[in-house]
Structure 1
Amino acid sequence: MLTERDDRLWTDEEPLAFLGMELGRIMTVIELSTGGLFVQSPAELTAELRAALDELGDVRFVAPASKLHGHLYMEQYREAYPDAELLAAPGLAARRPDLRFDGTLGDVPDPRWSADIDQVAITGHRWLTELAFYHRPSETVILGDVGFHIDERSPLQTRLVARLLCVYGRIGPPIEFRLTIANEATFRRSIRDVLAWEFDRVIPGHGAIVESGGKRAVAEGFDWIL
């Protein structure tokens, strides 16, 4: 259910079908040095997953990557962990009026997790702002829909569609995202902010995790804007 990737860092990979291809989706769990868990892009809170999380510690923060990525099951975490804080990405509060959020994420990490996690708001797209996170102790960058990574381990149909979307064998967003960037300079600056971090591993929103060489992979995947 949860795979330990590094000290105090776990992932949960689940299937996700979209546009006729199996993309998969990844949840990331970080144990904070101050205690408690930071859950990014929460997965469906099954009994098995809840038991695994409870074994690790108390869920304190639950965060999506964007208003589209990683929010579908947040209500389950509100019910299961009433003391946990639900954090909204820009635009998510309007999209999910059924949820009460405890704050909105931006470029500046909260002091309660900033010792372990940094963050960048990737802006410049016409209608979507995404949060990229950086786990300092494990030198890991965590992305959402800005970071597809489909490789040879995916099913044939997924690889074929990924080639059409320009996300096969490289980290980055699909072609329709690129074509709807409103401010290239702002988007480029956001990606350069991500590349300013010292990281080796990349956990994408969809596809295969890059265990090493992640910084180079991100630079190559975004060469079209850099």
Structure 2
Amino acid sequence: MTSLIPLGHDLWTVEGAPIRGAGGFDFPTRMCIARLTDGSLWVHSPIALNASLTSEIAGLGPVRHLVAPNDLHHRFLADWAAAYPDARIYAAPGVAQKSPGVVVDEGLEPESPAIWADLFQQVIFDGNMITTEVVFFHHPSGTLIFTDLLQQMPSGWYKGWRATVARADLMTGDYPSVPRKFRIAFRNRRAMRAAIAKLRRLPVQKIVMAHGPVVETNAAKVLDTAFAWAR
């Protein structure tokens, strides 16, 4: 059974194994893969690599672009760089410092690199004390791709005191939400609202989160509700 879940228009998502974070909090993982116009593959927030996944990817095309969208999602970057030495690494601020064995070829900027500018728009959420996150919008499929800024943990994912903390932090709930710690950590509120405004202008049809389910219905409304607190 394939682990690649098609999102349409040469875009796929893959669910990975949970990873252990600070305080013993486990997080579900998810990455995205896109085939660019030249046939090369773009890999967003790489998850743990294994032989089965490597085989499936080989059927899609050559991996040429590895994307670390914030400095919290770099754990498997070195493994992917070793497996795909011809791939260029694109990273958000802070990734290079946390991955000393990885050579970052290009920092992620407000403007998309020419190689994927026809397919992706990127919006940078900086001025956050936890991390700077780059959000991507895949034009052909109308898919908005988040990493940590938007989350929705599965029902019952945490137990005991961790469940209480996660609920208070807005990590769990009926709808995707910006965790409370990220809301508080924004120091440049004007830049934050400008970035949110850019997202709201996009024709969003789907939403993908590294830590949550794929949203395939009423995505624009889900996005608006998730950021209503920022008004």
Moved more, 162-171 or 131-140: 162-171
Letter in 1 for 2:198: D
1:188 equivalenced with 2:196 (yes/no): no
Identical positions, percent: 29
1:100 equivalenced with 2:103 (yes/no): yes
Contact 2:46 2:76 in 1 (8 A): yes
Cα deviation for residue 133 of structure 1 reads: 0.4
TM-score, with normalisation over the residues of structure 1?
A: 0.92
Who is 1:121 aligned against?
A: 124
Who is 1:4 aligned against?
A: 6
2:136 is matched with which residue: 133, 136, 139? 133
Cα distance in 2 for residues equivalent to 1:79 and 1:35 = 21
Cα distance in 1 for residues equivalent to 2:137 and 2:203 = 9
2:208 is matched with which residue: 203, 208, 223? 203
- What secondary structure, in the 3-state scheme, does the structure 2 residue paired with 1:28 have? strand
Moved more, 155-164 or 8-17: 155-164
How many pairs align? 224
TM-score, with normalisation over the residues of structure 2?
A: 0.90
Rate the CA distance shift 1:159–1:192 in 2: closer, same or farther, 3 A: farther
Contact 1:124 1:185 in 2 (8 A): no
Rate the CA distance shift 1:160–1:15 in 2: closer, same or farther, 3 A: farther
Contact 2:151 2:179 in 1 (8 A): yes
Contact 1:26 1:205 in 2 (8 A): yes
Rate the CA distance shift 1:21–1:77 in 2: closer, same or farther, 3 A: closer
- Uncovered stretches (5+) of structure 1, i.e. residues with no partner: none
1:70-85 matches, cutoff 5 A: 71-85=74-88
Who is 1:40 aligned against?
A: 44
Cα deviation for residue 65 of structure 1 reads: 1.8
Q: For residues 104-140 of structure 1, what are the alpha-carbon distances to aligned partners after superposition, in whole Å with 9 as ceiling and x for unaligned?
A: 0011101100111111111221242101001111000
Q: For residues 21-49 of structure 1, what are the alpha-carbon distances to aligned partners after superposition, in whole Å with 9 as ceiling and x for unaligned?
A: 55311100001122111000001111111
Rate the CA distance shift 1:189–1:56 in 2: closer, same or farther, 3 A: same
Contact 1:66 1:130 in 2 (8 A): yes
Who is 1:212 aligned against?
A: 217
1:111 equivalenced with 2:114 (yes/no): yes
Letter in 2 for 1:50: T
Rate the CA distance shift 1:30–1:159 in 2: closer, same or farther, 3 A: farther
Cα distance in 2 for residues equivalent to 1:177 and 1:194 = 17
Who is 1:13 aligned against?
A: 15
**RMSD of equivalent CA atoms:** 1.8
Who is 2:146 aligned against?
A: 143
- What secondary structure, in the 3-state scheme, does the structure 1 residue paired with 2:185 have? coil
- Uncovered stretches (5+) of structure 2, i.e. residues with no partner: none
Q: For residues 159-213 of structure 1, what are the alpha-carbon distances to aligned partners after superposition, in whole Å with 9 as ceiling and x for unaligned?
A: 6554221132232332112122112111111111122211110001201110121
Cα deviation for residue 149 of structure 1 reads: 2.0
